[in-house]
Amino acid sequence: MSISNNEPEVSIGAQCKKPHSCDYLDRCWPKSTKENNSVFNLYKLNLDKKLDFYNQGITSFEQIKPDTKLSLTQQNQIKANEIKKPIINKSKIQTFIDSVEYPISYFDFETFTDAVPLFDGQRPHMQMPFQYSLHIQKDAKSNIDSDKEHFEFIASIKEDPRRAIAESMLQNIPKSGSIMAYNQSFEKNCIKSLADYCPDISEELLALNDRFIDLIDPFQIWWILPS
């Protein structure tokens, strides 16, 4: 049996990305699919619909017929590309800004996972918080880079980190104001797991979750659409 030197002629399709993305996308897929105005970059348009556009010869926003049914975000995405200016929903962004309360605690966790649990009450592959970084901005004029307004924690590798990190957070995070993170669900789930592990301080820990503001919202909800 011999190996052919000829590449198979297979059209691009769902098989290129399902169930896993193919390593040869850059070789087989047209370079135009990476352009900002490519139909493959329409927000939350399913792959089958993108391929349907492509197979009809529709590869860019400009080729999409005006009466094509699209979501409002997708329509604005096309409009921003057409006018060459970002579309910014200023009222929504202002509402987001108005919801932020000082002092602002910019907060970030780091976690580790183990296939075989090391500590009591730890599940396989459980996200275990062992480090955090906290910057506090007291008001609009304060400098968050000041050493006085920065706190950090990293646990010892020799012991379960959960009690120590939970107590440190409660000591350093201000009792009021917004807690800001990017993709807050990760931080909030970590705090929930710490509350489960430390029932005696769970109420204080869970109260932190009520104060989170998510920086991802203006971008994920598409209040800002780049041109």
The model's pLDDT over 175-190, given as tens digits with 9 standing for 90+, comes to 999 999 999 999 999 9
Per-residue model confidence (pLDDT) at position 144: 64
Query: Is the model's pLDDT at 78 over the cut of 70?
Result: yes
What type of residue sits at position 107? F
Q: Are 119 and 156 in contact (CB under 8 A)?
A: no
User: Taking Cα atoms as reference points, which of 158, 156, 108, 116 lies closest to residue 132?
Assistant: 108
pLDDT tier for residue 146 given thresholds of 50, 70 and 90: low
User: Taking Cα atoms as reference points, which of 81, 33, 60, 32 lies closest to residue 225?
Assistant: 81
pLDDT tier for residue 24 given thresholds of 50, 70 and 90: confident
Q: Which tokens belong to 76?
A: 């604005």
Higher pLDDT, 12 or 204: 204
pLDDT digits (tens, 9 = 90+) for 46-55: 989 999 999 9
What type of residue sits at position 74? Q
Distance CA 99, CA 96 (A): 5
Query: Is the model's pLDDT at 43 over the cut of 90?
Result: no
Q: Are strands 87-88 and 224-225 parallel, antiparallel or unpaired?
A: antiparallel
Mean pLDDT (the chain) is 90
Helix (H, G, I), strand (E, B) or coil at 51: helix
Per-residue model confidence (pLDDT) at position 2: 64
User: Taking Cα atoms as reference points, which of 24, 16, 78, 75 lies closest to residue 48?
Assistant: 16
Q: Are 74 and 42 in contact (CB under 8 A)?
A: yes
Range 97-214: architecture per CATH: 2-Layer Sandwich (3.30)
Query: Is the model's pLDDT at 1 over the cut of 60?
Result: no
DSSP 38: B
Domain ranges of the chain: 14-85, 97-214
